[in-house]
Amino acid sequence: MTPLGSRSSLNATCAERVRELISEERVADARRLLREGLEANPHDLHLNRLDRLLALPKTAKIAQRDVDRTEEFRWLVQHSDEYRDRWVAVRGKDLVASAESLKELRQILRDREFEIPPLIHRIDTLAIVKLEVWS
CA distances from 48 to 19, 35, 54, 81, 105 (A): 13, 10, 10, 52, 44
- Quick one: which H or E segment has residue 119? strand 119-123
- Measured between its terminal Cα atoms, the distance across the chain in Å is 69
49 and 82 co-located in one domain: no
Which is it for strands 86-91 and 119-123: parallel, antiparallel or unpaired?
antiparallel
78 and 129 co-located in one domain: yes
Residue 27's domain comprises: 4-54
Q: Say what the pTM is.
A: 0.50
114 and 86 co-located in one domain: yes
Residue ending a domain, among 14, 29, 54, is 54
Fill in the DSSP letter of residue 45: H
Dihedral of CA 93/94/96/102: which sign? positive
In a domain, 82, yes or no: yes
12 and 44 co-located in one domain: yes
- Residues 87-102: pLDDT tens digits? 999 999 999 999 999 9
28 and 83 co-located in one domain: no
Confidence at residue 64, expressed as pLDDT on a 0 to 100 scale: 79
Number of structural domains found in the chain: 2
- Residues 31-45: pLDDT tens digits? 999 999 999 999 999
